[in-house]
Amino acid sequence: MNESLHLWLIPLLPFAGFLLNGILGSRMPRRLVTAVGVLLPLASFALVLNAFALTSITAAKSCPSCGPVSAVLLPDVEALAHPWLDLGTLRVDFSFVLDQLSLVMLLVVTGVGFVIHVYSVGYMKGDPGYARYFSFLNLFLFFMTVLVLAGNILLMFVGWEGVGLASYLLIGFWFQKPSAAEAGKKAFIVNRIGDLGFLIGIFLLLGAFGTLSFFPMRVSLAMSPASHGGMLTVICLCLLIGATGKSAQLPLYIWLPDAMEGPTPVSALIHAATMVTAGVYMIARTHFLFDRSDFALATVAIVGAATAIFAATIGLVQNDIKRVLAYSTISQLGYMFLACGVAAYSAAIFHLVTHAFFKALLFLAAGSVIHALGGEQDLRKMGGLRTKLPVTFWTMTVGVLAIAGIFPFAGFFSKDAILCAAFLQGAGGKSLWFVGLVTALLTALYMFRLWYLAFLGEPRTPDAHPHESPLSMRAPLVILALLSICGGWIGIQRFSAYLGPATAANRAMPTATGQLELMLSVAAVCVALLGWLIADWFYRRQPNRPAKLAAALPAGYKLLANKYYVDEIYGAIIVKPLLVTSQYILGWVVDTGILGGIAWLLAGIASLTGMILQRWQSGNLRSYAAWLAAGAAAVLLFLLVPWAQVWPASFDFLWKVVRH
């Protein structure tokens, strides 16, 4: 009855690409590298589309009257027959699970991933590490699809760590640049902190449920409807720590702005569209745990809302085009966490999808600008690019409208769904909604600021001669722009109905009346338009006003420009003490003092013994012979003594022998 969807091929194809390009890439012609690097992800995408088609047919025809249909029912499980880990009572299968949630996520990952691969062909053209770049990008897709398809939390953790590795490799892709190498390390280390929380969460889950697979956990929770809070809260908070690390939320968001040192398509794929949303995906995947803990959900919501507004304010004053986008990514991820926190998982995933479209688009457009200007990333040196880069300009405009939440672009629908879900959650929800609304204003403000500074007005560096990007870069821009326009038209109702079996919250969800929903939507759009107006006023009509405002509020401006001094604070209270402890206590006292002392002592004993024993090694043949004879005599004596008790008695024995 079930046709195989070949789920295992979805991660394996990019992995083959990684191996091919990683091992042979430097010896293959560039066209072949491109073909391997782009076509294998495309094949993966095709498999995902095939899975989507097959399962959708079932969904459409699974009425009682039309009988069984020869297609696949969700969730579809594929597992290796042999267990992955078989440790006494713990048995972990190497299993992939395809349900509505992982299918939507896979469509985004492989679809947007493929488009960005195509873009990379143009962007990375001529880079000496071309093959290395594509092999890493394919490696990322491999781990990301493993993360998404994983049927148990341990396999998910493997993918989770793997995407962290790929992220590290790609942030530090231009490792000759010290800042890029540093940024890679920073991302890796900050993520380790979150991963520790995730790991502890996994151990606690194992202790609580005795299994690591999602489905049995869900079943056993469903069998005990009363269990609530307690250990579940602790587990959820541990998982949340993991999610804040990967998804760049407070307090672990600091690595993401620095991650912009990587190539721009990497920022688009890993640090905007897919990997950083893994935390949101993980919460949605384990939502049956979060549903049982009000405290954990509230924490998720507060973390999300705080991150959203916090990052948005920083984004207002950044001058690096990619950093503006990075802070906007953090802020948008905050929205998704906010949605998870009010148990509106479908809304979170909906925003994840639309965000993947428009944020990938914004990054790729920014990459096109940077490409056109020969590596220039400073917004203050851009301007007037509208006529020079028409395709980039129009697609970027779509992206800006989408992220600002202007009707009818994609961001409007998903952001509206989140704000609406928050508004309906009582008094606390109303304040979350208000924070979200202010963030929407700030989002529109900083995005239109970027738009005005980069594309409108007069060129601020007249000697630059920008040129439009090649077709391989323009085509992805257009595709993503189309998706950003119409990606939201599915509508949250249909979307959450589709995701329902996988993510429907196990609790009563308030529903909005049509009138209230309309009012909330109008409020959101008005706020976005207000943000646009302010940006228009500041950056088009009175371009010297921002500087005046900064001069009028020097303390506030300095605080924002220095990103609230978070890096400095972390440096002072965590990094510095750690370094001092490592250098003086661990380095001098423990390493040099105790461990070194023991080593020196042992070496001293050995060399002293050697000095004494080397006197035997005189080189004198007769002395060797004498020791040999003495040794032989000693052995002889030793053999005779136990027999004859004392050695004069051995003469007795000899005498007996003689007398015989």
Partner 1 sequence: MTFLHHDVPLAWYLLLSAALFSLGVIGFLVKRNLITVFLSIELMLNAVNLSFVAFAYQWHQVRGQIFVFFVMMVAAAEAAVGLAIIIAIFRVRSTLAVDRIDLMKL
Minimal distance in Å, beta carbon 621 to partner 1? 5
Residue (588 or 627) nearer to partner 1, CB = 627
Nearest-5° angle of CA 174, CA 177, CA 182?
A: 95
Instruction: Identify the CA nearest to 454 among candidates 319, 546, 323, 360.
Output: 319
Residue (600 or 627) nearer to partner 1, CB = 627
Residue (513 or 614) nearer to partner 1, CB = 614
Residue (552 or 613) nearer to partner 1, CB = 613
Nearest-5° angle of CA 625, CA 631, CA 635?
A: 145
Minimal distance in Å, beta carbon 626 to partner 1? 6
The per-residue b/e assignment along 396-424, b for 16 or more CB within 10 angstroms, e otherwise, is bebbbbbbbbbbebbbbbbbbbbbbbbbb
Find out whether the peptide bond into 390 is cis, omega within 30 degrees of 0. Answer: no
Minimal distance in Å, beta carbon 83 to partner 1? 59
* DSSP structure class, residue 465: -
Q: List, as one string, the DSSP characters of 563-601.
A: GGGHHHHHIIIIIHHHHHIIIIIIIIIIIIIIIHHHHHH
Minimal distance in Å, beta carbon 639 to partner 1? 15
Minimal distance in Å, beta carbon 631 to partner 1? 12
Measured distance CA(104)–CA(86) in Å, rounded: 31
Minimal distance in Å, beta carbon 186 to partner 1? 54
Measured distance CA(485)–CA(554) in Å, rounded: 39
Minimal distance in Å, beta carbon 653 to partner 1? 11
Structure tokens at 278: 């893994």
* DSSP structure class, residue 413: H
CA 125 from chain centre, in angstroms, equals 26
User: Residue 152 forms beta bridges with which residues?
Assistant: 213
Nearest-5° angle of CA 443, CA 417, CA 75?
A: 120
Minimal distance in Å, beta carbon 131 to partner 1? 55
Minimal distance in Å, beta carbon 154 to partner 1? 58
Residue (514 or 616) nearer to partner 1, CB = 616
CA 293 from chain centre, in angstroms, equals 25
* AA identity, residue 215: F
Residues 425 and 510 sit within 8 Å (Cβ to Cβ): yes
Residue (89 or 617) nearer to partner 1, CB = 617
Binding site for partner 1 (CB under 8 A): 614, 617-622, 625-626, 629, 657-660
Residue (87 or 658) nearer to partner 1, CB = 658
Structure tokens at 68: 């069984």
Minimal distance in Å, beta carbon 652 to partner 1? 14
Measured distance CA(314)–CA(325) in Å, rounded: 11
Q: Please tell me the number of Cα atoms within 13 Å of 43 on its side-chain side.
A: 20
Minimal distance in Å, beta carbon 657 to partner 1? 5
Residue (592 or 618) nearer to partner 1, CB = 618
Residue (515 or 620) nearer to partner 1, CB = 620
Minimal distance in Å, beta carbon 646 to partner 1? 21
Residue (590 or 632) nearer to partner 1, CB = 632
Residue (175 or 647) nearer to partner 1, CB = 647
- CA dihedral sign of residues 221, 224, 225, 230: negative
Minimal distance in Å, beta carbon 645 to partner 1? 22
User: Residue 90 forms beta bridges with which residues?
Assistant: 87
Q: Whose structure tokens read 């195989």?
A: 4
Minimal distance in Å, beta carbon 146 to partner 1? 60
Residue (584 or 627) nearer to partner 1, CB = 627
Q: List, as one string, the DSSP characters of 56-116.
A: HHHHHH--GGG---SS-PSSEEEE-SS-SEEETTEEE--EEEE-HHHHHHHHHHHHHHHHH
Residue (63 or 643) nearer to partner 1, CB = 643
Structure tokens at 496: 């959450």
* CB within 8 Å of 26: residues ≥ 6 apart: 131, 132
Minimal distance in Å, beta carbon 659 to partner 1? 8
User: Residue 95 forms beta bridges with which residues?
Assistant: 79
Structure tokens at 498: 């589709």
Structure tokens at 276: 């950083």
Measured distance CA(413)–CA(438) in Å, rounded: 17
Question: Is 594 buried (19+), middle (13-18) or exposed (0-12) by CB count in 10 A?
Answer: exposed
Measured distance CA(385)–CA(383) in Å, rounded: 6
Residue (175 or 655) nearer to partner 1, CB = 655
- Helix/strand/coil for 251: coil
Hey, how many other C-beta atoms are within 10 angstroms of the C-beta on 537? 11
Residue (82 or 660) nearer to partner 1, CB = 660
